Structure 1
Amino acid sequence: MKFLKAFLLFVVVFAALNARAQSSSELKKQRERITNELNELTRELAQTQSNKKSTLKQLSILKAQISLRERKIDVINGEVRNLNNQISENTNTVHDLQGQLDLLKRKYADMVLFAYRNKSAHNKLMFIFAAQDFNQAYKRLKYLQQFATYRERQAASIEGKQKSLNNKIVELDKTKTEKHTLLVDQEKEKETLGKERNTQSVAAKNLTKQEKSLLRQRQSIQAEVKRVTRAVINAELRERREEEERRAAALRAERARAAAAAAAAGKDAPVVAKVVPRKTDSQLLNATPEAAKLSSDFLGNRGRLPWPVSAGEITQGFGTYMTEGIRSESNGLDIRTNNNAPVRAVFEGTVSKVSNVLGTYMIIVNHGEYFTVYSNLKTTSVSAGQKVSTKQNIGTAAADVGTSDTMVHFELYKAGAAVNPKFWLADR
């Protein structure tokens, strides 16, 4: 029983250490990838700043830099937490090994002292010959032999413990050095983040009238995307509601006919199905088993959905923001990506709408009670009513009206209410 408990404890500890190692490795890869993206943005910003008419593009790059810088600081915080845990575990291990080593040394010192006091061959022979019989003499001889062997094993054990202790101390010092390096890097990132925010503020103040006009044009596009999306979802809900009302009316008519027939026959009215209470929007959109399953599967992938583009960074997040006195509201994410980047569906579903919005296209895909919206597309490769699969290409991203950067706008709705897509997409 004790062996089983010890084995289970070993399995748990090993699994925890392995999980932590994987987490630390993954965090390091994320930090390196973010650093590479930041370096690329820094080069682009330097090119843009040489053009005095590119303030709007500078703002876009700065927003992307700030977002990535904040993510990098979060990743560093995660790495520091892992290192703190590792330092704590290694410190405990060092103390434990030191205690074991001290105990082994004390026991070995006692054995050495005993051996010194009985080192002469005469004493050993007397110890053997003083036995009462041959059997006892044999046992005393074996005892002396085993004692010598045990001393050798104890000496080897002390040497092994000392080696393990030295290795753990080296590992502990290495971890502390790594933590110090990360903390220094973190302070540099925080300092750079502050400078970037100041630069963003200055760039916003330097917006020209033409650039402000472009911002308002972008607002108009976003408003139209919002209007079309609301119209599509409301039409879907209205159709489901009308179908529900027709079903309820049929039940009421059935009840009335049954009551009339019973009255004519002089009988009690038969029990018929009751009219179903008015359903919520979510219940309407999940009315069929297929829709309910699709919604459940979509919800089950929260935090793991693929990005609508294979490579890119968020330049504008979800919610309300101000740019030089111009208040804007984003129902989704602006994702800056590569030129002519394919845009893909983040989950399986059915295309509800493909529409032209002031020169670019938008696509709405239905996933049960959830809807995803992809706008600022240059081309489309799907049509309304078509079923799409996860990561299927549905079009290509277009240039942003203000910055000329290739960008896709991505939104997510649950039964008509916009939700922040950032918490649904997988970490990158």
Structure 2
Amino acid sequence: MKFLKVLFFLICVVATLSVSAQSSEQLKRDRDRLTDELEKLNREYNETVNNKKSTLKQLNILRAQINLREKKIDNINVEVRNLNSEITENTNVVHSLEQQLKQLREEYKAMILFAYHNKSGYNKMMFVFAAKDFNQAYKRLKYLQEFAAYRKRQAGYIEEKEKELYGRIVQLDKTKEEKRNMLLEQQKEKENLGKERSNQQKVASSLTKQESQLVAQRRELQRKIAAATREIIRKTLEEARKREEAERAAAAARAKAANKDAPAPAPVARKTDSQVLNATPEAAALSSSFLGNRGRLPWPVTNGIITQGFGTSKMDGIVVDNDGVDIRTSSAAAVRAVFEGQVRTVQDIMGAYMVVIQHGEYFTVYSNLRSASVSVGQKVSTKQTLGTAATDAATGETVIQFKLYKAGVQVNPEPWLANR
């Protein structure tokens, strides 16, 4: 029974370490990706430091760096927690193996002493011939043979446990060293984060009046995009309700014509926006498929980083409310649909295009496009190109905004996108 408990414990430990290893591999890939993106931003920032006209661009790069640096620190925190868990598990395994090895050695020592006291062939023969009958003598002889074989196996078990114990100790030392390196890297990242925040304050305080106006213009652009998006969703809902009411009225008229004495139908409760948008089997299936791909949707650009997240944040003393995510990408990058659906609008807002696509009850919005290659009513497939990203002439930056709505309600789109 004791052996079974130990075996069960070791199986659980191996399973836990296997899952942890998989998670650690993903975390390491994420950390390496963040490091690469930070290095690219750092090179670009250094190119703009001596350019007075690029002050706003420097500020935006610093914001992106700070955002990525914070993500990397969070990533390292998770990795350190995983390493702590791995160290604890390996320590427990080492203690368990030490106890097993101690028990095996004690048993082996007892066998050796027994064999020493009974090492002469005379004693063995006396043990066999002292049996009451032939059957007992045979069993005693088999016992002696099995005892000798068991002693050899026990020596093999001890050797195996010693090797396993040594391997675990080596692995434990390696994990502890990895943890020390991770903590050093974390400290370095925190120092860099502090420098970047300090630079951000300096750059923000040096913004000229003209550059401050550019910031205000950008906020106005975002307001207009949000208003246009809400309007197109409102119209889509209104059209869907009108179709539903017309179909219900037609059905009631047919029923009345078939049976003139039938009582008037009871009033129907008003459906929710989601129910209206999912009225047809096709729309309901599309909504379900879109929801089923949460966390796996492709990014609207093949290469990009999020420079401003969803929700309310404070930048340079100004409270900013963002109902989407800003994605920094390369010049003239292709902007693509994250899922199949139907184009609801293509609008020019302050010199840049905005495209809205409906996916059942969900709507995705792609704004700040230099050009658009789709039209209203067109059905698009996943990853189909919608247009190209626009570059701000004043800052030299190429940033698109991606938004997600569920039946008119703003949703944070970042958790819906696949890991890069």
Partner residue, 1:282: 274
Deviations 1:307-339 (A, max 9, x none): 101111011122334555655432211101122
Are residue 412 (structure 1) and residue 417 (structure 2) matched? no
Helix, strand or coil at the partner of 1:229: helix
Are residue 295 (structure 1) and residue 276 (structure 2) matched? no
Summarize the Cα distance change of 1:220–1:255 in structure 2 as closer, same or farther, 3 Å threshold.
Answer: same
Contact 1:362-1:374 at 8 Å conserved across structures = yes
Letter in 2 for 1:97: L
Helix, strand or coil at the partner of 1:122: helix
One of 323, 329, 335 as aligned partner of 2:327: 335
Measured in 2, the distance between the counterparts of 1:149 and 1:249 equals 91
Contact 1:351-1:386 at 8 Å conserved across structures = yes
Summarize the Cα distance change of 1:218–1:293 in structure 2 as closer, same or farther, 3 Å threshold.
Answer: same
Partner residue, 2:57: 57
Measured in 1, the distance between the counterparts of 2:254 and 2:266 equals 10
Partner residue, 2:297: 305
One of 398, 421, 427 as aligned partner of 2:419: 427
Summarize the Cα distance change of 1:116–1:255 in structure 2 as closer, same or farther, 3 Å threshold.
Answer: closer
Superposed, 1:148-297 pairs within 5 Å as 148-247=148-247, 269-297=261-289
Helix, strand or coil at the partner of 1:390: coil
Aligned-residue RMSD, C-alpha: 2.8
Measured in 1, the distance between the counterparts of 2:333 and 2:126 equals 94
Measured in 2, the distance between the counterparts of 1:427 and 1:202 equals 33
Superposed, 1:339-418 pairs within 5 Å as 339-400=331-392, 402-418=394-410
Measured in 2, the distance between the counterparts of 1:98 and 1:325 equals 59
Contact 2:10-2:93 at 8 Å conserved across structures = no
Summarize the Cα distance change of 1:321–1:156 in structure 2 as closer, same or farther, 3 Å threshold.
Answer: closer
Measured in 2, the distance between the counterparts of 1:210 and 1:247 equals 56
Compare 366-375 and 115-124 and name the one that shifted more: 115-124
Measured in 2, the distance between the counterparts of 1:135 and 1:285 equals 87
Measured in 2, the distance between the counterparts of 1:173 and 1:155 equals 27
Normalising to structure 2: TM-score of the pair?
0.91
> Tell me, which stretches of 5 or more residues in structure 1 are unaligned?
262-268
Helix, strand or coil at the partner of 2:390: strand
Compare 237-246 and 12-21 and name the one that shifted more: 12-21
Contact 1:207-1:324 at 8 Å conserved across structures = no
Contact 1:342-1:394 at 8 Å conserved across structures = yes
Contact 1:60-1:403 at 8 Å conserved across structures = no
Contact 2:17-2:86 at 8 Å conserved across structures = no
Contact 1:248-1:276 at 8 Å conserved across structures = no
Give the share of equivalent positions with the same residue, in percent: 58
Normalising to structure 1: TM-score of the pair?
0.89
